[in-house]
Chain A
Amino acid sequence: MMLWRQFAMEWRLYSRDRAAMFWTMAFPVILLLFFGTILGGGDGLKLSVVRVQSQAPGPRDAALDQALADLQLKVQALPKAEAEARWSRGETVALLEPEGEGYRLRLNSYLMAQAGATAGLVNQAWLVAQARLSGAPEPLRIPAQVESPGRKRATNYASFLLPGLLGLNLVSMGLFSVGMVNVSYREKGKFRRLAVTPLPKWIFLLGQVLHRLTVTVIQAGILLLVGRLVFGIQNQGSFLNLLLIMTLGTGCFMAFGFALSGFAETSEGYAALSNLVFLPLMMLSGIYFTLDAAPTWLQHAVAVMPLAPFVRVLRAVFNDGAGLAGHGLGLAIVAAWGFAAFILAVRRFRWA
Chain B
Amino acid sequence: MTDSALRIRGLRKAFAKVVAVDGVDLEVARGEVFGLLGPNGAGKTTTFEIIEGLTLADAGDIEILGLTWARQGREIRSRIGVQLQSTSLFNKITPREALDLYGSYYPKRRDTQELLELVQLVDKADAYHITLSGGQQQRLALALALVNDPELVFLDEPTTGLDPQARRSLWDVVRRMKGEGRTVVLTTHYMDEAEALCDRLAIMDHGQVIATGTPASLISDLAIPSVVELTFDGDAPDPTAFAAKLGQAVERRTDLWEIPTPDPKALLNHLLEAAESAAVPFLQVHIRRATLEDVFLHRTGRSLRE
A, B: real partners: yes
Complex partner residue of B86 from A9, A12, A13, A189, CB under 8 angstroms: A189
CB atoms of B93 and A13 under 8 A apart: yes
CB atoms of A197 and B86 under 8 A apart: no
Quick check: is A188 within 8 A (CB to CB) of the other chain? yes
State whether A188 and B101 are in contact (beta carbons under 8 Å apart), knowing that A196-B53, A196-B54, A198-B106 are contacts in the complex.
Answer: no
Quick check: is B269 within 8 A (CB to CB) of the other chain? no
Complex partner residue of A195 from B53, B89, B107, CB under 8 angstroms: B53
CB atoms of B84 and A192 under 8 A apart: yes
Residues on B with C-beta less than 8 A from A111 are: none
Quick check: is B252 within 8 A (CB to CB) of the other chain? no
Complex partner residue of A193 from B78, B87, B97, B104, CB under 8 angstroms: B87
Quick check: is B52 within 8 A (CB to CB) of the other chain? yes
Give the distance to chain B from A126, nearest Cβ to Cβ, in Å.
Answer: 66
Quick check: is B82 within 8 A (CB to CB) of the other chain? yes
Residues on A with C-beta less than 8 A from B93 are: 9, 13
Give Cα A189–Cα B128 distance, bound, in whole angstroms.
Answer: 19
Give the distance to chain B from A349, nearest Cβ to Cβ, in Å.
Answer: 16
- Counting chain B CB atoms within 10 Å of each CB, the highest count among A16, A189, A190, A196 belongs to A196
Q: Which residues from 54 to 103 on chain B have a C-beta closer than 8 Å to any C-beta of chain A?
A: 54, 74, 77-78, 80, 82, 84, 86-90, 92-93, 97, 101-102
Give the distance to chain A from B237, nearest Cβ to Cβ, in Å.
Answer: 47
Quick check: is A5 within 8 A (CB to CB) of the other chain? yes
Quick check: is A17 within 8 A (CB to CB) of the other chain? yes
Give the distance to chain B from A269, nearest Cβ to Cβ, in Å.
Answer: 18
CB atoms of A13 and B105 under 8 A apart: no
Give the distance to chain B from A182, nearest Cβ to Cβ, in Å.
Answer: 13
CB atoms of A13 and B53 under 8 A apart: no
Quick check: is A340 within 8 A (CB to CB) of the other chain? no
Quick check: is A117 within 8 A (CB to CB) of the other chain? no
Give the distance to chain A from B52, nearest Cβ to Cβ, in Å.
Answer: 5
Give Cα A17–Cα B92 distance, bound, in whole angstroms.
Answer: 8
CB atoms of A193 and B92 under 8 A apart: no
Give Cα A197–Cα B108 distance, bound, in whole angstroms.
Answer: 12
Quick check: is A352 within 8 A (CB to CB) of the other chain? yes
Residues on B with C-beta less than 8 A from A45 are: none
Complex partner residue of A188 from B74, B88, B92, B97, CB under 8 angstroms: B88
Quick check: is A199 within 8 A (CB to CB) of the other chain? yes
State whether A2 and B77 are in contact (beta carbons under 8 Å apart), knowing that A13-B92, A189-B86, A352-B54 are contacts in the complex.
Answer: no
CB atoms of A198 and B105 under 8 A apart: yes
Residues on A with C-beta less than 8 A from B107 are: 198
CB atoms of A192 and B104 under 8 A apart: no
CB atoms of A198 and B74 under 8 A apart: yes
Residues on B with C-beta less than 8 A from A193 are: 84, 87-89, 144
CB atoms of A2 and B87 under 8 A apart: no
CB atoms of B89 and A190 under 8 A apart: yes
CB atoms of A197 and B106 under 8 A apart: yes
- Counting chain A CB atoms within 10 Å of each CB, the highest count among B101, B105, B107 belongs to B105
- Counting chain B CB atoms within 10 Å of each CB, the highest count among A16, A195, A197 belongs to A197
Q: Which residues from 27 to 70 on chain A have a C-beta closer than 8 Å to any C-beta of chain B?
A: none
Give the distance to chain A from B78, nearest Cβ to Cβ, in Å.
Answer: 5
A-B contact pairs, 6 of them (CB 8 A): A5-B101, A9-B93, A17-B92, A190-B88, A196-B80, A198-B107
Residues on B with C-beta less than 8 A from A5 are: 101, 104
Give Cα A192–Cα B54 distance, bound, in whole angstroms.
Answer: 7
Residues on B with C-beta less than 8 A from A195 are: 53-54
Complex partner residue of A196 from B84, B90, B104, CB under 8 angstroms: B84
Give the distance to chain A from B93, nearest Cβ to Cβ, in Å.
Answer: 6
Residues on A with C-beta less than 8 A from B106 are: 197-198
State the majority secondary structure of interface residues on B.
Answer: loop
CB atoms of A198 and B77 under 8 A apart: yes
- Give how many B residues have a beta carbon under 8 Å from the other chain's beta carbons: 25
Give Cα A9–Cα B90 distance, bound, in whole angstroms.
Answer: 11
Give Cα A189–Cα B156 distance, bound, in whole angstroms.
Answer: 14
Give the distance to chain A from B153, nearest Cβ to Cβ, in Å.
Answer: 11
Q: Mark A189-215, 1 if CB is under 8 A from B, else 0.
A: 110110111110000000000000000
Complex partner residue of B52 from A13, A17, A196, CB under 8 angstroms: A196
Give the distance to chain A from B209, nearest Cβ to Cβ, in Å.
Answer: 23
Give the distance to chain B from A217, nearest Cβ to Cβ, in Å.
Answer: 23
CB atoms of A196 and B88 under 8 A apart: no
Give Cα A304–Cα B101 distance, bound, in whole angstroms.
Answer: 44
Look across to chain B and name the residue whose beta carbon is closest to the beta carbon of A15. B92
Complex partner residue of A197 from B88, B89, B97, B105, CB under 8 angstroms: B105
Give the distance to chain A from B122, nearest Cβ to Cβ, in Å.
Answer: 22
CB atoms of A189 and B87 under 8 A apart: yes
Give Cα A12–Cα B88 distance, bound, in whole angstroms.
Answer: 18
Complex partner residue of B90 from A13, A192, A198, CB under 8 angstroms: A13
Give Cα A13–Cα B94 distance, bound, in whole angstroms.
Answer: 10
Look across to chain B and name the residue whose beta carbon is closest to the beta carbon of A14. B92
Give the distance to chain B from A120, nearest Cβ to Cβ, in Å.
Answer: 57
Look across to chain B and name the residue whose beta carbon is closest to the beta carbon of A200. B74
Look across to chain B and name the residue whose beta carbon is closest to the beta carbon of A185. B88
Residues on A with C-beta less than 8 A from B82 are: 196
CB atoms of B101 and A16 under 8 A apart: no
Give the distance to chain B from A202, nearest Cβ to Cβ, in Å.
Answer: 13
Give the distance to chain B from A186, nearest Cβ to Cβ, in Å.
Answer: 10
| Contacts A189-B86, A189-B88, A198-B107 supplied; 16 other A-B pairs, CB < 8 Å | A2-B105, A9-B97, A13-B90, A16-B92, A16-B128, A188-B88, A189-B84, A190-B90, A192-B84, A193-B144, A195-B54, A196-B80, A198-B77, A198-B78, A199-B105, A352-B54
Give the distance to chain B from A9, nearest Cβ to Cβ, in Å.
Answer: 6
Residues on A with C-beta less than 8 A from B84 are: 189, 192-193, 196
Give Cα A74–Cα B104 distance, bound, in whole angstroms.
Answer: 69
Give Cα A196–Cα B107 distance, bound, in whole angstroms.
Answer: 14
